[in-house]
Every structure is written in structure tokens, then in C-alpha cells.
Amino acid sequence: MTDSVLYSVFLLASLGIVAAVVLYVVSKKFYVYENPLIADVDEILPGANCAGCGSPGCKSFAERLVNTEDISDLFCPVGGNDIMKEVAAILGKEVVERDPTVAVLRCQGSCEVRPKTTEYQGPRTCAISAMVYSGETDCQYGCLGDGDCVKVCKFDAMYMDEATGLPVIITDNCTSCGACVEECPRDIIEMRPRNKRDLKVFVGCLNEDKGGIAKKSCSVACIGCSKCEDICPKDAVVMVNNLAYIDPVLCTLCRKCVDVCPTHSIIETNFPPKKVKKEVEKKVEVKVAVVKEQIVAESKKSKTDA
Amino acid sequence: MLKTFPKGGIHPPENKITSSKGIKRMTVPKVVNVPIAQHIGIPAEIVVDKKDKVEIGQVIAKSGGFVSSNIHAPVAGVVTKLDMIIDTSGYKKQCIVIRTDAKDEANFEEKEYPLKKNIELEPKEILKRISEYGIVGLGGATFPSHVKLNVREDKKIDCLIINGVECEPYLTADHRLMLEKAEEIVVGIKILMFALKIDKAVIGIENNKKDAINLFKNSVKNEVGIEVAALKVKYPQGGEKQLVRSILKREVPKNGLPLDVGVIVHNVGTIFAIYEAIQHNKPLIERVVTVTGKNLENPSNFWVKIGTPIKDLIAEVGGLPEGTRKLVNGGPMMGKAIKNTDVPVTKGTSGILVISEDEASRGEAKNCIRCGECVFVCPMGLEPHLLMNLSEKGLYEKASNEDIMTCIECGSCSYVCPSHRPLLDYIRFGKSIVKKLETSKN
């Protein structure tokens, strides 16, 4: 009986040794050198694999960071400046600090202000309805409301508001990876600087039609009246194709343009209420407050869920 | 035994309510909106300005490249504006708006040209005129005809096929044209045979139009080389590739053209437009449009000026009936719903279909039950269920390998699907992405 025990012990041991030798030889022979820095950098990166940096995932971004000489034009929008600084410290390279950005929705065309004139029965994705026609409303620039942006968001930073039919961006969750910007067939979502306390002033419309036509299709459309351009002390407003655009770099958030806009198509977010209240302003502020409340409610909800 | 194509195909109810209604001339519209992109390829370039006076048939937009076409003023009048108007694509597109001059008699003359048989032009001149007179494929695809006829030296063409199939349900524009202008169409065929030096032409007509078949058989009795082929009724026989297979038993290679098997296919409408351009110097400024629908008071076929707003057509047939849900530009299978009644008639508008509430709505999409109906009916031998899944999941490269680009978008798969899956919607979407990827690669 002891024989059979010895045999099996001996056999298994020798098999193990042979396998070990083979593995050792193979691992030496086919060794692939990888810069250990790549693993270190990969460790620091957020690991969201969101492709916001332009690389398919965090690992390949780490490779790019390690293998590129000048990394000043590479940036991880999710990690932001802190992560990039850490990376720079490990690699001993220079990084450029960037203003944190956040996605904003440049359309206010809710069901109330932008009536539906047709009905679409095909598959509910923005990409297909954009291919088929200009959408259920008469505005061919605004949100299609099928939520492709929400589907593509990996950070739970967006949801569709059923009352308005528009997506809502939860600013706290937004990592500015840019997936929604890429996905939107209408290019409604824009990355704008986050600023202090998330203060933002931007034109919430992309309608390039002439004033009358734009206004007819949506009551909060930019009609291209140029009033905001005239009042802006810093020349931050540019008018292109009957449409105002506020340059976030030049804008000092003075909010003069918000007051003069006759269709309330300029949106301000997170500003404290103004002391002198006019009749017109009330409406705008109520809207902002509602959005704020929703954001707060939603972020609370997501926290409790987590 | 009637000829047909072997693979796939369906038999939707024909509903050709207007086949006995002669083509009426429509009242001249007060305003026409002429889009500059009425053909496949590069949009034409506008050569008129606001407040310009234009004569009937004057070039108002010049061809913007090789695959492009001239556009002529359909009425005499004044250009009131150059505006953006929603066209059949569903988007606002550049249009030339002309207000018809009510005093100009040229607008209201009902010219009935006498039949002119002898061809006076040289082949080169014929091809040049086809290009200058803005002739595009009137079957619906609006491919500029001169490009089709511009055959490279190394390709040998031995047969011209005339497409008189009109396999789309409801539409009767080609059918009526064949009945009323048979002699002219035969001359048109002879013009093309002469210009391209081909000695064989076949007119393909489906067997549900027996009157047209008999008429043509009579009129080509004394012509050398022109035949009439009666075809079994099956959708989509009017597709170029299906028609070539049905008539000549030649298989057009995938991603190829009928040109690759020595054939050129032209619609009867196009042939008639060519006849008028060559023999009577008339550019393409009007076409036959079937205005139809089960609930319409007086559905019929009309000669319509290009650019006529669709609301004028609707008024002509007695207005929109109650419960109208959808307006389709083209037939029910391949046509496209239009956004409003201001959309103008273009060179590709073969019919306007008014659909009521109960016919219009699409069933709710359910899961695929793997019945294989879509594969069975696909005339191109594709697997629509697979292509849909691939483009839904974004696997465009795989879809491209599965020959998504050979889909002719006939809609047979969506028509038969018992689960009402939006097969064609996704396949079309996949095609557009694959096309983009391919162009960006090159």
C-alpha cells in the first residue's frame, strides 16, 4: 500500500517540476516588457473606461500618457486636475491645468413651449428620428427627446424629465466625459466651464431660423434680435445665423443679457435671486429654482440609492 | 409562364383605385416652391435672384457637379424669395419660391404636342440635352439620367430595360402614362437605343396592367428589337436588380449596377421626359402624380408642375378627409411620411397617399420570435433580423460584413414581421452609419 502512495507522490511531484520548468522557460522566452509606469498610472486613473479622454479605456490612456513625450494636450476629464497632477508627478512631465467643465443642455423646448405638430411612431432613438426627419415639433434644431444622451451616460448624471420631455443634467454627477455631446445628433449638449458655485450663463437655444419662424415653433427660442450682443460689456456674445452664442471665456457672468432677452432663451443657473425683481424675471427664476430643486432631489435620491 | 425574380418578394394588396382615372392637368398653382436638391448627388446652384422674372422652362438652378442636375422654372413668374422650406426629407431645405404670373399665357397653355417620330439629333447631342434639360430618374430614386447613360468605353451594353412595373400598391402614375402616351414612349425608347447604339429593348410590365401590356404589344409590333415582357405580380419587382433578373435572368453583382451585366434600366416616366426633351425641347418641369387614398373624395392622376405645394394637390381631390392620419410621399411601401402640406412636389414624387387613422398606426414592437419570415421575403437574400440587431447594438463592421449595404430598402421584411419589429428603420440607420464609416476610411 505504501508503494502506491509513494508512486503517486513521486509522480505528481515530477509532473509539477516538469510543468514548472516549462512555465519558467516559456515566461523567459516570451516575456513582454511593459513599462511598470503604465500600471502605476492606470492605478491612479478613475477606471471608468468612459473614453472621455479620446482613448478607448483607462489602460490605453495610461499607455498613451507614458509613451507620449508631451502630455500637455492629454486630459482626463473625469479625474480632473488633481488626477492629472498626480500622473504628472509620477511621470515627471508637465500638465496644463484646465478649468473643470460640465455639460449643459442648450434647449428649453419643453412640451409646453414647443408644441408637437407631428407624431413619430418609429423606434424611439434620437439617431433614427434625426435621420428620418426634423422631429415632432416645428423646430429642427432642438431636442428630439428620445434620450440617447441618457442611455449613453455612464455616471447616472442624466435623466429624462417626463413633464418637459427634455433630459436633465445632474451637475454634481457629471464628469464631463463628453459621451452625451458625442451622442446627440443635434449637438444640443455643450461642455461649459463649471465656474465657482456652478454659476453659468448661456443661450438655451440652437434655432437658426429667422425670428418669426423660430418664435412660432418655440416660444423660448432665440430670435436673433441681438439685444444681448448690444448690451454685453465684454463682447462675449456673438451672433451667427440668427443665433446668439455666449463665449464662456469672455463672459463675466454679469447677467445683463439675461434681463434683456425678450424670449427668455438665455439661461442662468445657481445665481442667488436678484434684489430688484421685475415681472419678467420672476418666470425665469421660478424655472431655475425648479431645476435646482430637481437636481437636489435627484442627487439626494441617488445618494440614498447608493 | 410569366417571368419573375426567384428570391423573396411579397404580395401586398394592390389598392390601385386610380388606375381607370385619366391623367388630368392640375390647375396652375399660385406659388411654386422649387427645392434645389431634387436629385441624388450635389444640389444645384441657384442662378436667379429675388425679384427676377423667369420664363417657363428657364434654368433657375445650375447643376452643381457631375452627379447633379439642372432645375428649370416650372412656371413663368417672379422669384419672390429664396427660402428654407421643409421638403420631402423632413428638413428645411433651400427652395426657390416663384409666384406664378397670372397674366402670362404660357402658364396656362395646354400644349398637346403632336407625335414626332423621326429623330433629328446626333447621339452626342441627345445625351447632352438629357443632361441639360434636368432629366432624372422619375421612378423615385431621382438619379440624374445623364450619369446613367454616360457609359464608359470598356462597358458593353446590349439591352435597355424599360421599367413599367409600378409594383408599389396604390400608385398608378406610370400605368396611366403608359396607357395615354404609349406611342411617345416607344419613340423615347428608340431615341435611347439610337443614342446608346443598343439594338434590344424590353419593356417590363406587371400582369395586373394587362391593358398596358396589350397596348404596347400592339405599338411595338412593327419595331425591330423592342419587346414587351409580361411579369408576374410581385413586390419589389420594380427594383432595378429584381427587374434585370426577372427579364434577362442576369444576376446583378452585389454592390454592382445593372451596367455590370450590360443593362441600363429606365423608368417609363423618364423615357417620356426624354422624349419630350429631345423631340419638343421641353425640360423636366412637370410629372405625373397619383393622389390617392381610400377615403379621398376624388382620387386621381395629375400632371403636376414641380414645386407645387402638396396642399394644392389635396384641394384638387376634394380636401383632406376626416380622420386622416398620415400623408405619404410615394407609395405605402417605400414612400416617406411628409411633415406638413406645404411640402412641394419634387421630381421624385410619384404619388401622394392619404392614409386614415386605422391604417396608419404601427403595431407595438415585440420580441423576435425567430420565425424567419423576413429572411424568406428578402429579395436580396439578406437576413433582416440579424442586420437590425447588429445596427441596434452598434456592431456596424459586422453589419457591413453581412452585406447591409446591398439592402434595397423595399420594406418587405417590416411588412411581414408578425412582431411588428422596426426592421427597416434600423437597417436604414445602420446603412447610413456604414456609409459614413466607409467614406471616412477612403
- pLDDT tens for A19-62 read 999 999 999 999 988 888 899 999 999 888 888 888 989 999 99
A56 and chain B in contact, CB less than 8 A = no
**Among B92, B339, B429, whose Cβ lies nearest the Cβ of A118?**
B339
- Residue B94 belongs to some domain of the structure: no
The H or E element that residue B373 is part of is helix B373-377
Instruction: Classify residue B110 by its DSSP letter.
Output: -
Residues A157 and A107 in one domain: yes
Sequence-distant (6+) residues with CB within 8 A of B427 are B384, B387, B388, B391, B404, B407, B409, B413
> From first to last of its 442 residues, what are the pLDDT tens digits of chain B?
789 999 899 999 999 999 999 999 998 999 999 999 999 999 999 999 999 999 999 999 999 889 999 999 999 999 999 989 999 888 999 999 999 988 877 777 767 788 888 888 888 899 999 999 999 999 888 999 999 888 888 888 999 999 999 999 999 999 999 999 999 999 999 999 999 989 999 999 999 999 999 999 999 998 889 999 999 999 999 999 999 999 999 999 988 899 999 999 999 999 999 999 999 999 999 999 999 999 898 999 999 999 999 999 999 998 899 889 899 999 999 999 999 899 999 999 999 999 998 888 888 999 999 999 999 999 999 999 999 999 999 999 999 999 999 999 999 999 999 999 999 999 999 999 999 999 998 8
Q: Which of B280, B315, B347 is the last residue of a domain?
A: B280
B167 is in an annotated binding site: no
Q: Do A127 and B429 touch (CB under 8 A)?
A: yes
The residue of chain B with its CA nearest to that of A210 is: B84
Question: Cell triple for residue A74?
Answer: 492629454
The residue of chain B with its CA nearest to that of A141 is: B91
> Which CATH number belongs to the domain containing residue A294 in this structure?
3.30.70.20
A174 is in an annotated binding site: yes
Q: Which of A44, A60, A91 is the last residue of a domain?
A: A91
On the 0-12 / 13-18 / 19+ scale of CB atoms within 10 A, B118 is: exposed
The residue of chain B with its CA nearest to that of A138 is: B339
Distance CA A261, CA B432 (A): 39
pLDDT tens digits for A84-135? 999 988 888 888 888 888 999 999 999 889 998 888 888 899 999 999 888 8
Residues A58 and A123 in one domain: no
Q: What is the pLDDT of residue A282?
A: 47
Torsion of CA A250, A255, A256, A258, to 10 degrees: 110
A53 is in an annotated binding site: yes
- What are A269's strand-pairing partners? A200
- Residue A59 belongs to some domain of the structure: yes
State phi, psi for B64 to the nearest 5 degrees: -90, 5
- Residue A69 belongs to some domain of the structure: yes
- Residue B226 belongs to some domain of the structure: yes
Residues A55 and A139 in one domain: no
- Residue B249 belongs to some domain of the structure: yes
CB A206 within 8 A of CB A241: no
CB B187 within 8 A of CB B275: yes
CB A58 within 8 A of CB A39: no
Helix, strand, or coil here: B414? helix
Residues A155 and A281 in one domain: yes
- Residue A62 belongs to some domain of the structure: yes
Distances (CA, A) of B408 to A113, B165, B382: 40, 16, 10
Mutation target among A116, A119, A128 for the B interface, most CBs of B within 10 A: A128
A177 is in an annotated binding site: yes
- Residue B141 belongs to some domain of the structure: yes
Distances (CA, A) of A287 to A144, A293, B272: 21, 10, 61
Residues in chain A: 306
Q: Do A122 and B362 touch (CB under 8 A)?
A: yes
Mutation target among A124, A126, A131 for the B interface, most CBs of B within 10 A: A131
pTM of the model as a whole: 0.86
Residues A146 and A206 in one domain: yes
User: Comparing C-alpha atoms, which of A220, A232, A36, A32 is closest to residue A143?
Assistant: A220
User: Comparing C-alpha atoms, which of B178, B225, B237 is closest to residue B11?
Assistant: B237
Q: Do A118 and B92 touch (CB under 8 A)?
A: no
Question: Nearest CA to CA, how far is A217 from chain B (Å)?
Answer: 13
A209 and chain B in contact, CB less than 8 A = yes
Torsion of CA B404, B406, B412, B417, to 10 degrees: -20
Q: What is the pLDDT of residue A276?
A: 56
A126 is in an annotated binding site: no
> Which CATH number belongs to the domain containing residue B127 in this structure?
3.40.50.11540
> Which CATH number belongs to the domain containing residue A43 in this structure?
1.10.15.40
Q: Do B86 and A209 touch (CB under 8 A)?
A: no
All residues of chain A having their beta carbon less than 8 Å from the beta carbon of residue B337 are 133
Nearest-5° Cα angle at A96, A95 to A102: 120
Q: What is the pLDDT of residue A295?
A: 54
Residues B253 and B385 in one domain: no
Residues A269 and A144 in one domain: yes
CB B372 within 8 A of CB B382: no
B413 is in an annotated binding site: yes
Report the largest interatomic distance among the alpha carbons of chain B, rounded to a whole angstrom: 64
**Among A122, A131, A209, whose Cβ lies nearest the Cβ of B422?**
A122
How far apart are the two ends of chain B, measured CA to CA in Å?
47
- Residue B387 belongs to some domain of the structure: yes
Percent of chain A with pLDDT over 90: 47
Q: Do A123 and B340 touch (CB under 8 A)?
A: no
Left if phi > 0, otherwise alpha if psi is -120 to 50, otherwise beta: which for A176?
A: left
Nearest-5° Cα angle at B176, B160 to B165: 40
Residues B141 and B267 in one domain: yes
**Among A118, A131, A134, whose Cβ lies nearest the Cβ of B429?**
A131
Residue range(s) defining the domain that contains residue B134? 123-280
Residue range(s) defining the domain that contains residue A46? 36-91
pLDDT tens digits for B327-362? 999 999 999 999 989 999 999 999 999 999 888 888
CB B187 within 8 A of CB B268: no
* CA B140, B141, B147, B151 torsion-angle sign: negative
Domain count, chain A: 2
Distance CA B24, CA B27 (A): 9
The residue of chain B with its CA nearest to that of A209 is: B84
Question: Cell triple for residue A96?
Answer: 496644463
Peptide bond before A273: cis, by omega within 30 degrees of 0?
Answer: no
Residues A295 and A156 in one domain: yes
Percent of chain A with pLDDT over 70: 89
Q: Where does the pLDDT of residue A281 fall: very low under 50, low under 70, confident under 90, or very high at 90 and above?
A: very low
On the 0-12 / 13-18 / 19+ scale of CB atoms within 10 A, B58 is: middle
CB A175 within 8 A of CB A58: no
Q: Do B426 and A140 touch (CB under 8 A)?
A: no
Residues A67 and A121 in one domain: no
- Residue B345 belongs to some domain of the structure: no
Q: Do A128 and B426 touch (CB under 8 A)?
A: yes
Q: What is the mean pLDDT of chain A?
A: 86
- Residue A140 belongs to some domain of the structure: yes
Q: What is the pLDDT of residue A230?
A: 93
Question: Nearest CA to CA, how far is B332 from chain A (Å)?
Answer: 15
Residues A61 and A196 in one domain: no
A149 is in an annotated binding site: yes
pLDDT tens digits for A148-204? 999 999 899 999 999 999 999 999 899 888 899 999 999 999 999 888 888 889 999
Domain count, chain B: 2
* CA B406, B408, B414, B415 torsion-angle sign: negative
Packed helices B210-219 and B173-180: angle between N→C axes, nearest 10 degrees = 30
The residue of chain A with its CA nearest to that of B365 is: A123
Residues B257 and B378 in one domain: no
CB A118 within 8 A of CB A136: yes
Q: What is the pLDDT of residue A297?
A: 53
All residues of chain B having their beta carbon less than 8 Å from the beta carbon of residue A127 are 429
Nearest-5° Cα angle at A100, A97 to A104: 150
The H or E element that residue A46 is part of is none
Q: What is the pLDDT of residue B418?
A: 95
Q: Do A132 and B90 touch (CB under 8 A)?
A: yes
Q: Where does the pLDDT of residue A303 fall: very low under 50, low under 70, confident under 90, or very high at 90 and above?
A: very low
A212-221, A294-303, B26-35: lowest mean pLDDT where? A294-303
Residues A216 and A120 in one domain: yes
CB B75 within 8 A of CB B305: yes
Distance CA B254, CA B241 (A): 9
Instruction: Mark which residues 11-40 of A lie under 8 Å from B by CB.
Output: none
- Residue A3 belongs to some domain of the structure: no
Residues A83 and A148 in one domain: no
* SS (HEC) of B283-337: CCCEEEEEEECCCCCCCEEEEEECCCEHHHHHHHCCCCCCCEEEEEECCCCCCEE
The residue of chain A with its CA nearest to that of B430 is: A128
Q: What is the pLDDT of residue A296?
A: 53
Residues B152 and B265 in one domain: yes
Residues B377 and B260 in one domain: no
The residue of chain A with its CA nearest to that of B388 is: A123
Distance CA B374, CA B423 (A): 9
Q: Do A134 and B365 touch (CB under 8 A)?
A: no
- Residue A25 belongs to some domain of the structure: no
Q: Which of B280, B305, B333 is the last residue of a domain?
A: B280
- Residue B254 belongs to some domain of the structure: yes
All residues of chain B having their beta carbon less than 8 Å from the beta carbon of residue A131 are 428-429, 432
Q: Do B92 and A140 touch (CB under 8 A)?
A: yes
Residues B269 and B377 in one domain: no
User: Comparing C-alpha atoms, which of B64, B140, B77, B63 is closest to residue B105?
Assistant: B77
- Residue A9 belongs to some domain of the structure: no
Q: Do B86 and A134 touch (CB under 8 A)?
A: yes
pLDDT tens digits for B144-190? 999 988 888 888 899 999 999 999 999 999 999 999 999 999 999 99
Distances (CA, A) of A152 to A126, A158, B128, B403: 12, 9, 52, 27
On the 0-12 / 13-18 / 19+ scale of CB atoms within 10 A, B336 is: middle
Q: Please enumerate residues of B whose Cβ is less than 8 A from a Cβ of A.
A: 84, 86, 89-92, 336-337, 339-340, 361-362, 365, 422, 425-426, 428-429, 432
All residues of chain B having their beta carbon less than 8 Å from the beta carbon of residue A117 are 339-340
On the 0-12 / 13-18 / 19+ scale of CB atoms within 10 A, B120 is: exposed
All residues of chain B having their beta carbon less than 8 Å from the beta carbon of residue A121 are 361-362
Residues A85 and A229 in one domain: no
All residues of chain A having their beta carbon less than 8 Å from the beta carbon of residue B361 are 121
Amino acid at the residue B135:
I
Distances (CA, A) of B276 to B71, B187, B284: 16, 10, 8
* CA A203, A204, A210, A211 torsion-angle sign: negative
- Residue B307 belongs to some domain of the structure: no
Q: What is the pLDDT of residue B226?
A: 94
All residues of chain A having their beta carbon less than 8 Å from the beta carbon of residue B365 are 123
